[in-house]
Amino acid sequence: MAEPLKIALAGLGTVGVGVIRLIEANAALIARRAGRPLQVTVVSARDRNKPRGVDLSGYAWEDDMVILGERDDVDVVVEMVGGSDGPALALARTTIEAGKGLVTANKAMIAHHGLELAAKAEDKHVALKFEAAVAGGIPVIKALREGTAANQIERVYGILNGTCNYILTVMEDSGRDFADVLTEAQAKGYAEADPAFDIEGTDAAHKLSILAAIAFGSKVDFARVETSGITRLRAADIAQAAALGYVIRLIGMADTGGGLFQRVQPHLVHCDHPLAHVDGATNAVVAEGNFSGRLLFQGAGAGDGPTASAVVADLIDIARGELGAAFSVPVSELEDLPPAATGHRLGRAYLRFMVADRPGVLAEITAALRDAGVSIESLIQKGRAGDAEGGGSEVMVAMVTHEGPESAVSEAIRLLDGSASLSEPPLVLHILDN
The CA distance from 246 to 273, in Å, is 9
The CA distance from 347 to 60, in Å, is 56
Which member of 191, 340, 355, 432 binds ligand HSE (CB under 6 A)? 191
Assess 181 for contact with ligand NAP (CB under 6 A).
no
Of 20 and 254, the one with the shorter C-beta distance to ligand NAP is 20
DSSP per-residue string spanning 191-236:
S-SSTHHHHTSHHHHHHHHHHHHHHHTB---GGG-EE--STT--HH
The CA distance from 291 to 327, in Å, is 21
- Binds 41, which of ligand NAP, ligand HSE, none (CB < 5 to 8 A, cut-off by type)? none
Among 6, 124, 207, 219, the active-site one is: 207
Assess 222 for contact with ligand NAP (CB under 6 A).
no
For helices 406-416 and 361-372, what crossing angle results, to 10°? 140
The site for ligand NAP, by CB under 6 A, has a size of 27
Least distance from C-beta 183 to ligand NAP, angstroms?
15
Residue 33's H or E segment, with its range, is helix 27-34
- Binds 163, which of ligand HSE, ligand NAP, none (CB < 5 to 8 A, cut-off by type)? ligand HSE
Strand partners, 286: 157, 296
Which member of 131, 198, 255, 288 binds ligand HSE (CB under 6 A)? 198
Rounded-to-10 torsion of CA 430, 137, 69, 116: -30
Least distance from C-beta 370 to ligand NAP, angstroms?
46
Of 203 and 411, the one with the shorter C-beta distance to ligand HSE is 203
Which is nearest to 255 in space by CA: 187, 332, 153? 153
The pairing of strands 101-104 and 427-432 is: unpaired
Which member of 262, 282, 307, 309 binds ligand NAP (CB under 6 A)? 307
Of 75 and 304, the one with the shorter C-beta distance to ligand HSE is 304
Q: What is the DSSP letter of 28?
A: H
**Reduced 3-state DSSP string for 281-318:** CEEEEEEEECCCEEEEEEEECCCHHHHHHHHHHHHHHH
Binding mask 145-184 for ligand HSE (x = CB under 6 A): ----------------xxx---------------------
Least distance from C-beta 54 to ligand NAP, angstroms?
12
Task: Report whether 224 contacts 138 (CB < 8 A).
Answer: no
**Identity at 41, one-letter amino acid code:** T
Residue 22's H or E segment, with its range, is helix 14-25
Residues in contact with 363: Cβ distance below 8 Å, sequence separation at least 6, in sequence order: none
Of 16 and 301, the one with the shorter C-beta distance to ligand HSE is 301
Of 13 and 217, the one with the shorter C-beta distance to ligand NAP is 13
Least distance from C-beta 191 to ligand HSE, angstroms?
5
Task: Report whether 218 contacts 334 (CB < 8 A).
Answer: yes
Which member of 76, 80, 160, 205 binds ligand NAP (CB under 6 A)? 80
Assess 136 for contact with ligand HSE (CB under 6 A).
yes
User: Which residues, numbered 84-143, are part of the site for ligand NAP (CB under 6 A)?
Assistant: 87, 105-107, 132, 136
Which member of 17, 301, 327, 352 binds ligand HSE (CB under 6 A)? 301
Of 42 and 311, the one with the shorter C-beta distance to ligand HSE is 311
The pairing of strands 128-129 and 101-104 is: parallel
The CA distance from 200 to 203, in Å, is 8
Assess 75 for contact with ligand HSE (CB under 6 A).
no
User: Which residues, numbered 183-212, are part of the site for ligand NAP (CB under 6 A)?
Assistant: 189-190, 192-193
Which member of 190, 222, 327, 353 binds ligand HSE (CB under 6 A)? 190
Which member of 19, 22, 45, 398 binds ligand NAP (CB under 6 A)? 45
Q: What is the DSSP letter of 169?
A: H
Annotated catalytic, 207? Answer: yes
Which member of 29, 47, 125, 179 binds ligand NAP (CB under 6 A)? 47
Assess 203 for contact with ligand HSE (CB under 6 A).
yes
- For 10, 103, 242, 257, 282, the CA distances from 79, given in Å and listed in that order, are 5, 6, 41, 35, 23
Interface positions with ligand HSE (CB under 6 A): 136, 161-163, 190-192, 198, 203, 301-302
The binding site for ligand NAP (CB under 6 A) comprises 11-16, 45-47, 50, 65, 80-82, 87, 105-107, 132, 136, 189-190, 192-193, 302-303, 307
Which residue numbers are catalytic?
Answer: 207
